[in-house]
Structure formats: structure tokens, C-alpha cells
Amino acid sequence: MSSAPVIAAVDGSEGSQRGLEWALDAARRRAAPLRVVHVRQYAAWGQADVLVAGPPDAEGDPVLDEVRVQLRDRADTPAVEYVALEGVPGAALTEIGTDAQLLVLGSRGRGGFASLLLGSNSLAAARDAECPVIVVPPPGREVHGDGPDEPGPRVVVGLHVDSPDEATLGLAFAEAALREARVQVVAAYPWPVQTWTAPGQVLPPPVDEGAVESETRSLAEGFLAPHRKRHPEVGADVQALPGDAAGLLVAASRDAELVVVGRHRRRLLAPTRMMGSVTQAVLLHAASPVAVVPPTPPEE
């Protein structure tokens, strides 16, 4: 296993406690160290730097001290490092993920409005961090739709057959292997197909939905082949379904171990990091933890 840490971002809130427990379990499964980080926000208006010079002493941080007490007598705790930082939490969390396997946090911390489904720090980390970000939701989120076809643990992954990302599929299979789970691949296709013609033009023949479904499934199976070979112990099934990808993934999140989604690649006319609408919707509404995976760097 990699020696890179699993990072848990904590702030003393109930949300960060759920994130800490998820990160602790992930570190154990990976035989990786756990790094517990608390970012104390300063109130300096117009401050340009992300972090102030000279990080504060982690020994005197009450949030970290509380975690130390909590983990002190747990026999299954991996090696733990405690880090205290000062700065803008969203930006600081983005920076600390550069050398991590995972960055884990709750969907909402202490700040912001109680009515928000997703905190600004969680959104910033999921959008900007260099490593995969796990956002752990509050319990009790209700999702609508049919339950899973098969019992047992599942890792759900969204696959866009027009622009698949190997990193997203790779994390889904790796997590499934660690959790002795199967991979449920959701490959959505738009239906009905919208056909636009100029006045007076003849409409093309109607598209057969069965053919679209079959082509979507065939493409998805091709993208899965190298991951099946890499993880022969992991079962995987493809669901080629019509409709909105976000709604399908949220429905599949019920009782899932994890939902894995990708983040948009940078584009020429939009050089900043972005998150697609599907990823944002899944973060807002999924009942299970959500992994947001940075895209595979393009080949030179």
C-alpha cells in the first residue's frame, strides 16, 4: 500500500466527526497513516496569502485535542499525525491534498447557514483538490427510485461513455476491492433524442432506443475491460439507462458504500477547475458518501 496519508479535515462539528470515522476506516483498509487537519480561519479582510507564516502549534488546538482523546484508546487506530493550520479553510484544504491518497470531510462544517446542503469548504475541496475528495453526508437523506437488484455492498460509479475517465473508474474498482464490494456502473444516455430541423426539411428516421442502449452498454464494457483485468476479484455490472445521470446516481446511492463521480477537465476557454452539474447534484443529494475524482492528466 502507498505510504501517502489519508487526510481527515475536522472542525469539531458533527459533519467532521462523520468524516473522521470514514477516513479512519479508509486508512485502516489501505494500511496508510491518518493525518488529522484543523484549519483555523483568520478574519483578516483582503488577506492575499492562503496560509499565514508559521503554522500554529497542533498541541494547543482544542479541536485536535478532542480528536486525540477520542482516538487514544482505540486499538485499531493507524499512525496518526495532527496538523493545525491558519488560513481560509477552502483554500487551505485544497493545498493539503497534494500529497494525500484521499481528503475526507463532512458535507457541512460549523460555518455557513444550517439550511445549506453542502458547505463552501466541501465544495471548494471537491472542485480544487489534487487528490480524490470524499464528502460524507449527514444520515437520513432520502432518495427516490428502485433499490439495488442484488444484495451486498456496492460501489456506484458514473460513466459518461462519450468522455470516460480512467481515474474515476480506477478509484471505483480499487474501493470495491478494499471493501469486498461489487461495482455498479451507471451509464446514462439521453432519451428521447431531440431532433432539430429547419422548416421544410425532412425528419430523419426515428432512433431506436434499444440500439442506443446496446451501443451505450457495449462502449461501457469496453472501458471496463482493463479494470476487470486489474481487479479480477471484483464483480461489475453495467446499467445502461435512459434519463438524467444525476438522478440515476442519486437513486443508486441508497445503501451504497460509495458513489464515485469525476470532475471536469480544464478546457481552453475555461482554464479554471470546474465541477459539472451532475457532480454537484450528486454531492447535494446522494445518501451515501461521494468521491469526487480529479481527471486523469492529458497526455503531452
Please indicate, yes or no, if residue 143 is contained in any of the structural domains: no
What pLDDT is stored for residue 44 in this prediction?
A: 44
Q: Say if residue 13 is in the same domain as residue 71.
A: yes
Given pLDDT bands bounded at 50, 70 and 90, which one contains residue 55? Answer: low
How does pLDDT run across 161-208, given as a tens digit for each residue? 888 889 999 999 999 999 999 999 999 998 766 555 566 565 555 667
Q: Say if residue 224 is in the same domain as residue 94.
A: no
Please indicate, yes or no, if residue 141 is contained in any of the structural domains: no
What pLDDT is stored for residue 205 in this prediction?
A: 57
What pLDDT is stored for residue 2 in this prediction?
A: 66
What pLDDT is stored for residue 199 in this prediction?
A: 65
pLDDT at 283 over 60: yes
Given pLDDT bands bounded at 50, 70 and 90, which one contains residue 116? Answer: very low
Q: Say if residue 86 is in the same domain as residue 178.
A: no
Which of 92, 110, 136 is the C-terminal boundary of a domain? Answer: 136
Contact criterion met (CB below 8 Å) for 32 and 1: yes
What pLDDT is stored for residue 52 in this prediction?
A: 40
Q: Say if residue 246 is in the same domain as residue 179.
A: yes
Q: Say if residue 129 is in the same domain as residue 161.
A: no
Residue 192: is the preceding peptide bond cis (ω within 30°)? yes
What pLDDT is stored for residue 214 in this prediction?
A: 92
What pLDDT is stored for residue 113 in this prediction?
A: 42
Please indicate, yes or no, if residue 203 is contained in any of the structural domains: no
Lowest mean per-residue pLDDT among 52-61, 89-98, 104-113:
52-61
Given pLDDT bands bounded at 50, 70 and 90, which one contains residue 86? Answer: confident
What pLDDT is stored for residue 56 in this prediction?
A: 58
pTM of the model: 0.84
Rounded Cα gap, residues 245 and 225, in angstroms:
22
Which of 92, 107, 136 is the C-terminal boundary of a domain? Answer: 136
Residue 223's domain comprises: 154-197+208-293
Contact criterion met (CB below 8 Å) for 102 and 34: no
Rounded Cα gap, residues 130 and 291, in angstroms:
13
Region 65-89: mean pLDDT is 90
Given pLDDT bands bounded at 50, 70 and 90, which one contains residue 249? Answer: very high
Q: Say if residue 37 is in the same domain as residue 159.
A: no
What pLDDT is stored for residue 58 in this prediction?
A: 60
What pLDDT is stored for residue 114 in this prediction?
A: 42
Please indicate, yes or no, if residue 116 is contained in any of the structural domains: yes
Q: What is the mean pLDDT of the chain?
A: 83
Q: How many domains does the chain have?
A: 2
Q: Say if residue 105 is in the same domain as residue 223.
A: no
Q: What is the CATH number of the domain that holds 284?
A: 3.40.50.12370
Please indicate, yes or no, if residue 247 is contained in any of the structural domains: yes
Q: Say if residue 237 is in the same domain as residue 288.
A: yes
What pLDDT is stored for residue 263 in this prediction?
A: 86
CA neighbor of 260 nearest in space, from 292, 230, 286 = 292
Q: Say if residue 161 is in the same domain as residue 280.
A: yes
CA distances (Å), origin 188, targets 74, 88, 241, 245: 43, 37, 5, 5
For residues 267 and 210, which has the higher predicted lDDT (pLDDT)?
Answer: 210
Q: Say if residue 170 is in the same domain as residue 46.
A: no
Please indicate, yes or no, if residue 257 is contained in any of the structural domains: yes
Please indicate, yes or no, if residue 149 is contained in any of the structural domains: no
Please indicate, yes or no, if residue 146 is contained in any of the structural domains: no
For residues 193 and 141, which has the higher predicted lDDT (pLDDT)?
Answer: 141
Contact criterion met (CB below 8 Å) for 156 and 249: yes
Q: What is the CATH number of the domain that holds 75?
A: 3.40.50.620
3-state secondary structure of 228: helix
Region 117-141: mean pLDDT is 85
pLDDT at 252 over 50: yes
The gap between the terminal CA atoms of the chain, to the nearest Å, is 28
Region 73-79: mean pLDDT is 86
Q: Say if residue 183 is in the same domain as residue 99.
A: no
Main-chain dihedrals φ then ψ at residue 155, nearest 5 degrees = -115, 120
Q: Say if residue 162 is in the same domain as residue 69.
A: no
Contact criterion met (CB below 8 Å) for 261 and 168: yes
Q: DSSP E strands: which ranges in 70-127?
A: 80-86, 102-106
What percent of the chain is predicted at pLDDT more than 90? Answer: 51
